[in-house]
A and B are shown apart, each in its own frame.
Chain A
Amino acid sequence: MSAHVDYLLGLADDALVSSQRMGWWISRSPQLEEDVAMANIGLDQLGQARALLTHAGAVEAAGRDEDDLAYFRDERDFRNVCLVERPMEDFGVAMARLLVFATWQHELYGALSASTDATLAAVAAKARKETAYHVDHARQWTLRLGDGTAESHDRMQAAVEAEWPWREELYDAGTLAPELVERGIAVDPGTLREPVEARLDAVLAEATLSRPDVAAAYSRGRQGRHTEAMGYLLAEMQHLARSHPGVTW
């Protein structure tokens, strides 16, 4: 598989897996407005995933469409960061993770709007606007939960502690072919660290939360080495499509 396809799949899988976790919240959130908002965010992420998977399939030129790529790849072929695949059934965790992920996506898509891959640049330009809203939503909730009640402060601090170790992989250029950056297709993830971290720190401070002093988690999703949670996520997502290969839905 070409490095270009691999790169696109990484971004697509981040969005797809994140959307899969977000979808769980529809009908389970703290209030009706939040059900609407989380569905919105999940839909945006799904839209990004579909555009990126379709584009990856086209660059690959092996006849695979978005559904072939989403439903008929095995776990080791998924390229998303481990951050997004882990269980997300606590509202504080959901908002802490969204804050990290959307802030990173927002910076990334901003840079990718200038990609020499014109299709990727177009997807990124649209996604940048969407993720600006996601960041704002996550920020608002981080403030409310961090600076709300004593209980919510403690729960949000715990959520931040749980998510922070998984950020490192977002900035890791380990698996990225340098040639993609040289050609202007991809963004060196290392360059995102400073702007993303500055924004995250500012939100934590405003929310009266302390920046976790934690070691990075072992996270190699970009190489297809996932957490144990990933297999269950894919089993659920893929089972129906795989039970009826070759049909139209």
Chain B
Amino acid sequence: MVLHAHVTDADICNTACYRGGVYGNDFTAPEAARTAPADEPASFRAILVEDGRVEPRDEMPEGYRKTLVRQIAQHAHSEIIGMQPEGNWVSRAPSLRRKAILMAKVQDEAGHGLYLYAAAETLGVDRADLLDALHSGRQKYSSIFNYPTLTWADVGAIGWLVDGAAIVNQVPLCRCSYGPYARAMVRVCKEESFHQRQGFEILHTLAHGSQAQRQMAQDAVNRYWWPSLMMFGPPDDDSPNSAQSMAWGIKRFSNDDLRQRFIDMTVPQSEALGLTLPDDGLAWNEERGHYDFTPVDFTELFEVIRGNGPCNEQRMAHRVGAHEDGAWAREAAAAYAQKQAQKQAQRQAREQAQKEGAA
């Protein structure tokens, strides 16, 4: 798709562009002290300068490691919380074909969560601890998933706009300086562009269907447009971590650049759909070579991040509920594995004793 064409330069990639970016709702200051370039291990600097990949065994500054852990964890949390709004329509999908596609999509998101938690674990943390951080609210997930899916068309709008915005943010991460994260992103991005096409196709079908279907599609786009633009995070001026990441030399694309890129890509697609975007200020600016748009009102985003979105409580209750309800099964699995290991050890000891007895 057009999306990949934007990423052409081969600078050191941004581990931290996710912070204001990808799922875009973490702009608290990192706990780690900023590492001045002079304090960085020379080997680490060398890798970045050569546009190489930092691997788990390489030396890295503590600030870099902590930033990555939180960034990857919050990305993983977003993937798994993101299963809920669309999972909401699995039981009601209006055709069996759509039901199958939707189940597969929600399953993909679980898979993305798995890749990402595994990538985070290469940095010396446990998935269980990261999940605790999500469940206790210490770590966040993308605010976009705090909006409800009210109609079937929302499934289309999420695929088209939310997966679309995620791709714009995540394609640069495919060349992220941390190898395991970059490799996870390559797999994720392939599936996300598939999701985006499916969302587009749902909306296209609705937009060319009955009057009621058309209204459903337009209503979903009206509701999801502004929250999608907010996924890129606040403007660069209000994004302290963006500045820090720039200073670190690990962030290439600003929140505003990525937002503009997404808008430039999406406006022509909306025309192909025959749907309008809810912004009277959208107009092609020949001079800039970009679409102009009305500045995003971030009051709402900050409210949603503060926990006052329409579904914050519901999403967390669903996630924590599933985790707590499943505790007995996880405990059983652990106990069973331990019993099996003990039996195995006893068997081996017996065989060993027999061998020695025979000898």
Q: Contact residues of A with B, CB < 8 Å?
A: 16, 20, 23-24, 26-36, 39-40, 42-43, 46-47, 49-50, 53, 66-67, 70-71, 91-92, 141, 143-145, 147-149, 151-152, 155, 236-237, 239-241, 244, 247-249
Contacts and interface: CB of A to CB of B under 8 A. Distances in A.
Contacts of A249: 94-95, 97-98, 152, 202, 205-206, 209
Contacts of B345: none
A67 B94 CA distance: 9
Given A32-B114, A32-B117, A49 B328 contact: no
24 contacts: A23-B90, A26-B87, A27-B83, A27-B319, A32-B80, A34-B326, A36-B110, A39-B110, A42-B103, A43-B103, A46-B99, A50-B97, A53-B96, A91-B326, A144-B337, A147-B336, A148-B331, A151-B332, A152-B332, A152-B335, A239-B92, A240-B94, A244-B213, A249-B95
Contact of A149 (B91, B212, B335): B335
Nearest to A90: B325
A39 B113 CA distance: 15
B179 interface: no
Contact of A67 (B96, B106, B330, B339): B96
8 residue pairs, one from A and one from B, having the closest CB atoms = A30-B326, A148-B332, A152-B332, A39-B107, A30-B329, A27-B83, A144-B336, A35-B110
A27 B332 contact: no
Given A26-B83, A35-B83, A42-B103, A91 B325 contact: yes
A27 B325 contact: no
B318 interface: yes
Which of A40, A49, A249: most chain B Cβ within 10 A?
A249
B8 interface: no
B299 interface: no
A53 B97 CA distance: 12
A210 to B, nearest CB: 17
Interface in B205-242: 205-206, 209-210, 212-213
B188 to A, nearest CB: 15
A247 B80 contact: no
A49 B95 CA distance: 13
Q: What's the dominant secondary structure at chain B's contact region?
A: helix
A137 to B, nearest CB: 13
B118 to A, nearest CB: 10
Given A50-B97, A240-B152, A249-B202, 7 more contacts: A30-B322, A39-B103, A39-B104, A50-B96, A67-B96, A145-B332, A151-B331
Contacts, number: 142
Given A32-B80, A39-B107, A236-B92, A91 B212 contact: no
B349 interface: no
A36 B96 contact: no
Interface residues of B, number: 50
Q: What's the dominant secondary structure at chain A's contact region?
A: helix
A49 B333 CA distance: 32
A248 B322 contact: no
A44 B162 CA distance: 27
Given A31-B330, A152-B331, A244-B210, A26 B114 contact: no
B106 A39 contact: yes
B61 interface: no
A43 B107 contact: yes
A245 to B, nearest CB: 10
A46 B330 contact: no
B107 A36 contact: yes
B260 to A, nearest CB: 33
Contacts of A27: 80, 83-84, 87, 106, 110, 318-319, 322
Contacts of B111: 36
Contact of B213 (A36, A236, A247): A247
Contact of A30 (B87, B97, B110, B330): B330
Contacts of A248: 205, 209
Contacts of B325: 28, 30, 91
Contacts of A91: 325-326, 329
Contact of B333 (A29, A148, A151, A241): A148
B100 interface: yes
Which of B99, B206, B210: most chain A Cβ within 10 A?
B99
B96 A24 contact: no
